Amino acid sequence: PLSIFKDTIKTSEKNKQIMIDEILKMEESSKNESNEKAKTWTGDTRGHEFLFKNKNFELLFIDIGNKIKEYIESLSLNSSELNFYFQRAWATVTKNQGNIKPHRHNQSHISFAYYLSLPKDSGAIVFLDDDPANQIAPGLFRSKLVRKPSLLNAPEVTIEAKENDIIIFPSKTRHTTKSNQTNKIRISISADIVITLKNSKSYERLMPDFSIWKRF
């Protein structure tokens, strides 16, 4: 089964509040008639998709970068041979009954969710497996034949997190969130990461670094 990396990144309450205020300011500035009543606001579709360029998030992204490399090392991959790039980064604000629909991030290699604000019952992340490795017939694990759900036969798995937790996973993994069942907002930060080879000699499985590409 798929392995998901979960850890904690702690930040001061002062710094956390600065980031929350900045995100809420972004949300407010991008409101219009079409999204004013939306239960979920996602910065990547509202013109705020490069959060890593904002100085208020600088220290957090340093910590996140270190966690990404820990994730790579946990897969027994040599991170010293790789270059890491934040491709996009955005915040999500989810209100009562809001959730994020199932989707993938096919344009990148690694994605994550970091929880700045996560009230109890405000919505967990769910990973979906359309073709579980152990499934011997299509759709079998969603049928009545499953006597007892387990990690060996699960077509989807819910990962419970706490505030300040980060969850890292392959971008190709389809995922969604449960609905926020509270009157408090859930605020998370996500990003897409691309990895390239520092030296592509004798390698073919990853891209050479973009610094040597030729634009035309």
Confidence check: pLDDT of 175 > 80: yes
- What pLDDT is stored for residue 33 in this prediction? 45
- What pLDDT is stored for residue 37 in this prediction? 61
User: Please, are residues 176 and 99 in contact by the beta-carbon 8 Å criterion?
Assistant: yes
- What pLDDT is stored for residue 89 in this prediction? 98
- What pLDDT is stored for residue 146 in this prediction? 95
* pLDDT tens figures, 31-83: 764 555 679 999 999 999 999 999 999 999 999 999 999 999 999 999 999 99
> Distance between alpha carbon 58 and the CA centroid of its chain, in Å?
18
Least confidently predicted of 50-59, 150-159, 185-194:
150-159
Phi, psi (deg, nearest 5) at residue 113: -130, 125
* pLDDT tens figures, 85-140: 999 999 999 999 999 999 999 999 999 999 999 999 999 999 999 889 999 999 99
190 or 149: which leads in pLDDT: 190
The residue assigned the tokens 């359309």 is 130
Q: What is the pTM of this model?
A: 0.93
Confidence check: pLDDT of 11 > 50: yes
- What pLDDT is stored for residue 36 in this prediction? 52
Instruction: Extract long-range pairs of 27-31: CB within 8 Å, 24+ residues apart.
Output: 27/91, 27/93
